[in-house]
Amino acid sequence: MPTRGCEPQVRLSAIVFDLGGVLLDAEEAHANAARLAAQDFSLPVSVAEWECIRGSAYEDFFYRVLASPANIHRRADLHELVARAYDLYLEQVVDSADLIPYALEALKVSRASFEFVAVATSSEGRLVDTVLRRFHLTEYFDCVVSGDQLTQKKPAPEAFLVVAWLLGIKPGSMVVVEDSEPGIRAARLARTHVVKIDSKGDDQASLAVRAHQVVRGHRELIAYIRALEERKVLDGR
């Protein structure tokens, strides 16, 4: 039993990575696919709406766009629009996307430091499979959860809860690496330990989403993973 006033400690079992923005440098491809899909369906999108594209699933983004005053009377089908965006995104990824620098090194260190390594993403399974095969990443993961396996995408916590269930561990024993607000909120709701990759140095945004740890890039992430491996436990929070 812990003594009064002491926080319980949590033994670490797994590290879970988002895909786009954490392992795959696909932010531009994600946004470009949304722009092309909007053009295909002749949908005007405001500047404020475009600011929400980063880290958002196409379902959530285009639902917001279609509900805007400029599009409320249009007859665009959400499912067709989202499907078109995912098709274009896959094309963009295959043509031009690459791994983020030092992402592969981070996976190698994670594989040596944790019992389990996983991916939890809102992206479609076909995209995830393509990326893992193209960059020879399959061997690094014990579990892969994609958006089409979920009933609710991030910021709902379902992706991380499913990972924990599949691995047979508690969510609190997982370290989650994210870069976007929806992903961080989802990880916090799942009661995991959350690391934010903040390559842009946005301290206010990092504070707002309450990540437990902020790193400025993948080299800092690697150092933090090694530090966690030495500790093996976290103070409960």
pLDDT per position as a tens digit, 38-76: 999 999 999 999 988 887 889 889 999 999 999 988 888
Q: What is the pLDDT of residues 198-211, one digit of tens each?
A: 877 665 555 556 89
The angle formed by the CA atoms of residues 101, 104 and 107, to the nearest 5 degrees, is 130
What span, in angstroms and rounded, lies between the C-alpha atoms of 181 and 24?
Answer: 17
Q: What is the pTM of this model?
A: 0.84
Greatest alpha-carbon pair distance for the chain in Å reads 63
Burial category of 130 from C-beta neighbours within 10 Å (exposed 0-12, middle 13-18, buried 19 and up): middle
Q: How many C-beta neighbours within 10 Å does residue 168 have?
A: 8
Burial category of 198 from C-beta neighbours within 10 Å (exposed 0-12, middle 13-18, buried 19 and up): middle
Q: What is the pLDDT of residues 127-180, one digit of tens each?
A: 999 999 999 999 999 999 999 999 999 999 999 999 999 999 999 999 999 998
